Structure 1
Amino acid sequence: MSQDRVPDQDTDGPASRPKRAAGVLSRPVSEGDSVTTLELFFDLVFVFALTQVTAKMADDLTVGGLVRGLLIIALLWWSWTAYAWLGNLVRADEGITRIGMFAAMAVMFVLALSIPEAFDDAPGGLSGPVVIAVCYFLFRALHLLLFYVSSAGDAGLRAQLLRFTPAMLAGTALLLVAAATDGPAQTWLWVAALAADYLGTYLGGARGWRVASPGHFAERHGLIVIVALGESIVAIGVGVAELPISWPIVVASALGLALAGSLWWAYFDVSALVAEHALTAATDERRANMARDAYSFVHLPLMAGIVMLALGLKKVLQYVGDVHHHDLGDPLKGVGLAALVGGVVLYLIAHVGFQLRTTGRLNPARLVVALLLVPLALLGKSLPALATLAVLTAIVVALIAYESVRYAADRHRARNHHRHGVVASE
């Protein structure tokens, strides 16, 4: 599409890039490597973690509960993206990295189990907030250790790791302090912990980071988007698992699937391909900066939007299916409505940022639709829940249809060139 044009390729060739080196117990990733099956297995833990977050927000359907859920998503995302960078340096299924990946999976699984107690410790057993903080530290520390071992001979990368470490330690320390508090103070300490980690990483620069295989890096992030979208479909099923099947449930499920499918289309039909071309065209520090900004940072609101949508879909299905507590004319209210509409708005705005950072071009259609959806959060208070979902789905499907027709020639060229391994300049 014309709004997804790729910037001209840098004149510096691969020969100008710093030489990568890995320890004897690791195997470096090459330019053409794809995502390994171990990385896909690794992502299954995050599927469980995301379902835990959605369930937690559904149980605490308040503004505070939504904010706390988004903070947990930010913590999970920063944990996951660290290993996405590692897997782009050395193969995840070879040598010591394989053992480290399994160890990290175990730690993250325990963290995911503790999500219901991330802010409010349940009686008996270990302290949930402390377990979260300790697991986060172990997960990140293991990542740094594996990165350090795998970067033998690469002085620039090791220097970057040293600049990166204080941010991680500060974030963990603040999470431990937060575990000893409660209420608003605890929430603000979480904000401070994540701000320290995210901002520390950004301020540390990207001159030492390496993106060995742009295709692998883009594919890795595309797959986690699919994982998140799949979780939104799971939320539809979980929302009505114990309710008798009915026509309202069938219609709402079909609308929810169409909405999730439209979000898939918005990312994978062209945008992901053109972004990958742009990442491949960039070299050295410019490539690392683009990868950090467009994927590590901008994909966070993308993921948060999907999880919010999953929460909204879950509530809609409960509304239309539970005839004992809700009438078909009942509107979706409060946080449930905000999550349903706000999730799609956040997702589309993140897409605009993703395209702008990778291609340098603004997507006005998606930005306009995102802004036009905001009033739906107010209008939805007087509409039946099913009608709100229908309107939201119709708008997003119409956006996808408009882009497919308006940019049909550009879309065909971009997909055809990608299929044959040629960079599409559109």
Structure 2
Amino acid sequence: MNFTWFASAYDPDDVPYRLSVLLQITGSLVLAAGVDRAFEAGDLTVITVGYVVLRTALAALWLRAALADPVRRRTALRFASGVALCQLGWVGLLLVPTSLMLPGIVVMILAELSVPVWAQSAGMTPWHPGHIAERYGLFTLIVLGESVAAATVAVRGAFNRHHGTGPLWALAAGGLLMAFAMWWLYFARPAHALLATTHQDHRRRFPWAYGHYLVFASATAEGAGLASYADHVTRHTTATSAAAGAAITVPAAVFLLTVWAVQLRPHQKSPAERLLFPVAAVGVLAASWTAAPALVSGLLLAAAAVVAGARHR
């Protein structure tokens, strides 16, 4: 996300810039390679190394922007120093006792999120609403695609083991309907039009941008929830049916409410329009106690998508 905003402001597309992009990609690949070790053994070393490589390259880009743009030099230097200090914090976190690791991670996440707000308070960098909307939309598509792929692998394995039962068919149909509806909801209203109207109101820009953390997280969690429910149906895990269903419905409700808040609500005028999506989210959560939570949630999301599309027309 930080790189997206940087690229919207400064994108020379020359050799140094392209090399820095490749370095950031390398860092992200190293980070991804350390995920299993982090979750299984609590070892953040590989993740931290990858993240430092990724973010140090971004800090270097901000230093380059500071040299090239005297008007916004203070902002660029704040970005560069804030990003660099956060990397020192992540490295230092490797040295703290295990009992302090989780609180330290929370502190570092808050520090990372604070850097753009602090830096931009010294002067806003330029940005293009169409470019930002396109980047965020593309990343949403990628996350939804990964979520569908993860769920597909899990459901396919369950079908191979049990040759298809009623709950599995409902899960497969519901999961597909949910993915389609989530995609439709996100793109029901053009984000670039919303961003264009708030281009000078920077207080509204940050909630839109940071709200997408919940969009991305909930879309990712949806795939994991569908996979978990498939495991529950076929392997009869110790989780209750409601708890297994909540793995599907909670991410769906978070996605629905967040997309409504950041993408749809600013376009809605009447109280009835503004009440519809929170009510639908409550219905999605209530689907946790049904026999087919994915299918019921999919139908509710699809209904919300239909209403959002109809209002748009």
Q: TM-score, normalised by structure 1?
A: 0.64
* CA gap 1:392/1:203 in 2 versus in 1, 3 angstroms: same
After TM superposition, list the pairs within 5 Å mapping 1:217-366 onto structure 2.
Answer: 217-243=132-158, 244=160, 245-248=163-166, 249-270=168-189, 273=190, 275-283=191-199, 286=200, 288-295=202-209, 297-320=210-233, 322=234, 325-326=235-236, 332-334=241-243, 336-355=244-263, 363-366=274-277
Does the 8 Å CA contact 1:312/1:339 hold for their aligned counterparts? yes
Separation (CA, whole Å) in 2 of partners of 1:149 and 1:162: 9
1:369 matches 2:280: yes
- 1:366, CA displacement in angstroms? 1.4
Higher mean displacement: 150-159 or 300-309: 150-159
Q: Which amino acid aligns with 1:223?
A: L
Separation (CA, whole Å) in 2 of partners of 1:184 and 1:347: 32
Does the 8 Å CA contact 1:171/1:192 hold for their aligned counterparts? no
Does the 8 Å CA contact 1:156/1:207 hold for their aligned counterparts? no
Counterpart for residue 140 of structure 1 = 55
Counterpart for residue 420 of structure 1 = none
Separation (CA, whole Å) in 2 of partners of 1:152 and 1:191: 33
Q: Which amino acid aligns with 2:236?
A: H
Name the SS of the counterpart of 1:340 in structure 2.
helix
* CA gap 1:357/1:225 in 2 versus in 1, 3 angstroms: same
Counterpart for residue 415 of structure 1 = none
Tell me the percent identity.
21
Does the 8 Å CA contact 2:198/2:205 hold for their aligned counterparts? no
Separation (CA, whole Å) in 2 of partners of 1:86 and 1:388: 41
Partner deviation per Cα, 1:381-415 (whole Å, 9 max, x = no partner): xx44xx1222211221222233334x2xxx23xxx
- 1:212, CA displacement in angstroms? 3.4
Higher RCO (CA-CA < 8 Å; seq separation 6+): 1
Does the 8 Å CA contact 2:27/2:52 hold for their aligned counterparts? no
Which structure has more helix as a fraction of its residues? 2
Aligned residues: 305
Q: Which amino acid aligns with 2:9?
A: L
Separation (CA, whole Å) in 1 of partners of 2:88 and 2:246: 33
CA-based RMSD: 2.9
Separation (CA, whole Å) in 2 of partners of 1:141 and 1:258: 41
- 1:250, CA displacement in angstroms? 4.1
After TM superposition, list the pairs within 5 Å mapping 1:64-75 onto structure 2.
Answer: none
Separation (CA, whole Å) in 2 of partners of 1:178 and 1:191: 11
Q: Which amino acid aligns with 2:258?
A: A
Counterpart for residue 110 of structure 1 = 30
Separation (CA, whole Å) in 2 of partners of 1:211 and 1:316: 45
Separation (CA, whole Å) in 2 of partners of 1:173 and 1:357: 39
Does the 8 Å CA contact 1:175/1:193 hold for their aligned counterparts? yes
Give the alignment partner of residue 75 of structure 2, picking from 135, 160, 182. Answer: 160
Separation (CA, whole Å) in 2 of partners of 1:84 and 1:345: 27
Q: Which amino acid aligns with 1:394?
A: L
Partner deviation per Cα, 1:301-338 (whole Å, 9 max, x = no partner): 11111112111111122334x3xx239xx95453x443
Unaligned runs of 5+ in 1: 1-80, 123-127, 413-426
1:201 matches 2:116: yes
